[in-house]
Structure 1
Amino acid sequence: MQVKDRVWVVTGAGSGMGRELVLALLERGARVAAVDRAPAARAETTSFAGAPGERLSCHVVDITDAAAVAALPDEVVAAHGAVDGLINNAGIIQPFVPVTELTDDDIRRVLDVNLMGTLAMCRAFLPVLLERPEAHLANVASMGGFFPFPGQTVYGASKAAVKLLTEGLYAELLDTDVRVTVIFPGAVDTEITANSGVQVREGTPEEKAKAERMMTSAPDAARIMIDGIERNRLHVHVGRDAQLMSLLIKVAPRPAIRLVKKLMERQMGSPAAEEGVSPAGR
């Protein structure tokens, strides 16, 4: 489905890939309802977008708040007259520790945002999307949703659930006018670590430069995602790392997992996310 002249809802729109998705959609002639829990982040996105007038509306909503999510479709329709597409981009990572070292609150927060928040948005907006002559639902999973990364196991489990949730929706909606896409970003140069409240060691300038070379830029990630949506692709892999890991986990899963584990062990003391091998680049 072409994005031009359609109304798109984007969650996690205040920073990173979400902000770039908003800007790219506006550039392609879409109308956008930008959703973020942080008013300051929302204001920054509006500032970056310039003055798009009525084509951009901003909504302060925490996607873990069931009541706020349930009210959001009516707010977007009031602002734009319809909803044609939804991109569930909001997500957080976990602290870089084994499962046994996570607190109950750590686990619940990751699952609430990544899985339950995404599910709530799907359930809230699908009735509206089903009324349109053509519509699209896209959920952002992760490379970590199909490839295991030590220290991000619960994050990966939440994104694996998003993968299967989206594929299940694809099957359920085959006979409707709603197309469905699940997106698997690899390491993307964003601020997801800080936005998730996760503490990591500051890398050296050399480490940071290496990480940036290995990551997909947020603008490039947004472009790849929207191109995939416009082509109605079921699976969209963002970055060469995501494409490679998708192949390796199928043809040589055990050697691939051992290799990544060794690479991450060598980097103990330098968080994997800073070295470009983390699934949590968003």
Structure 2
Amino acid sequence: MKVRDKVIVVTGAGGGIGRELVFNLLYKGAKVAAIDINSDALEETLKQAGGDGDKVSTHIVNLTDREAVEKLPEQVISCHGTVDGIVNNAGIIHSFVNINDLDYDKIKLVMDINFYGTLYMVKSFIPYLLDRPVGHVTNVSSMGGFLPVPGQSIYGASKAAVKLMTEGLYAELKDTSVNVTVVFPGGVRTDIMKNSKVEGVPSTNDTDKAHDHLLTPKEAAEIIINGMEKDQYRVLAGKDAKMMDKLYRLSPQRAVSIITKQMKKIINK
């Protein structure tokens, strides 16, 4: 679906990839409903976008609140007249600890935001998208959604749930006007660790040569929107995601061994 003159909803729009998704969509001629729980971050996105309220609306929403999410479609339509697509980008990680050491409250929060937040968005917007001549759902999973990452097993489980739900949604909507894309970003230089209140791990914003290979949020956003415009089924964002996808298909055990060694180096820095 070409995004020019379309109305696209973006979650997690207060920073990182989400903010760059807003900028990319505006540059390509779309109108955007920017969603985030952080009002200050949303205001900064609006400011950096030029402050054009006709092109961008901001909506402060806790994605774990199903009733609040269910009200979003009408709010977006009230601002822009219609809605043509959604990009479910919002997500958090947890501290780099084993499942055995992760408390249930954090496990529930990660699942509520990453999986249920995406599910609430999908179920709330699909009826409206089906009424459009063409619509699109883009759900952001993760490389961790198909490849287990030590210390991030629950995050990976939440993103694996997003992956399979999105693939099922693609099959269910295959003969409709709504196209579906699932995205698997690899490493991206964002503030997800800080925003997720994760401590004890170097930020991917550090000026460390080990992070030089990571995508910038702008690059990741460009890949995601290009995939959306081409109606791609799967989008692998980053060389690491592409490489590990191939390796995991060929030799899952070897792929897990490699990612385990890499994570130990990062965590023990």
TM-score (normalised: structure 2): 0.97
> Could you tell me whether the CA contact under 8 Å between 2:138 and 2:183 is conserved in 1?
yes
1:185-233, Cα deviation, whole Å (9 max, x unpaired): 000011001111111245799x732143121000010000000100000
**Distance in 1 of aligned mates of 2:266 and 2:59:** 40
Q: 3-state SS of the aligned residue for 1:188?
A: coil
Please, which runs of 5 or more residues in structure 1 have no aligned partner?
A: 271-282
Q: Which residue of structure 2 lines up, in the alignment, with residue 59 of structure 1?
A: 59
Q: Which 4+ stretches in 1 moved above 6 angstroms? A: none
Q: Which residue of structure 1 lines up, in the alignment, with residue 175 of structure 2?
A: 175
Q: Which amino acid aligns with 2:255?
A: A
Aligned length: 269
| 1:198-217 equivalent positions in 2, closer than 5 A | 198-202=198-202, 208-217=207-216
**Distance in 2 of aligned mates of 1:204 and 1:25:** 25
Is 1:187 the counterpart of 2:187? The answer is yes
Q: Which residue of structure 1 lines up, in the alignment, with residue 82 of structure 2?
A: 82
Q: Which residue of structure 1 lines up, in the alignment, with residue 164 of structure 2?
A: 164
**Distance in 1 of aligned mates of 2:231 and 2:266:** 38
Is 1:18 the counterpart of 2:48? The answer is no
**Distance in 2 of aligned mates of 1:32 and 1:203:** 29
Is 1:100 the counterpart of 2:112? The answer is no
Q: Which residue of structure 2 lines up, in the alignment, with residue 275 of structure 1?
A: none
Q: Which residue of structure 2 lines up, in the alignment, with residue 255 of structure 1?
A: 254
Q: 3-state SS of the aligned residue for 1:87?
A: strand
Q: Which residue of structure 1 lines up, in the alignment, with residue 218 of structure 2?
A: 219
1:217-254, Cα deviation, whole Å (9 max, x unpaired): 00010000000100000100100000001000001111
Please, which runs of 5 or more residues in structure 2 have no aligned partner?
A: none
TM-score (normalised: structure 1): 0.92
1:114-171, Cα deviation, whole Å (9 max, x unpaired): 0001000000000000000000000000000001110000000100000000000000
| 1:137-152 equivalent positions in 2, closer than 5 A | 137-152=137-152
Q: Which amino acid aligns with 1:51?
A: G
RMSD: 1.5
**Distance in 1 of aligned mates of 2:202 and 2:134:** 46
Q: 3-state SS of the aligned residue for 1:150?
A: coil
User: Which sits farther off after the overlay, 105-114 or 193-202?
Assistant: 193-202
User: Which sits farther off after the overlay, 52-61 or 6-15?
Assistant: 52-61
Q: 3-state SS of the aligned residue for 1:184?
A: strand
Distance 1:8 1:203, change over 3 A: closer
Distance 1:78 1:213, change over 3 A: same
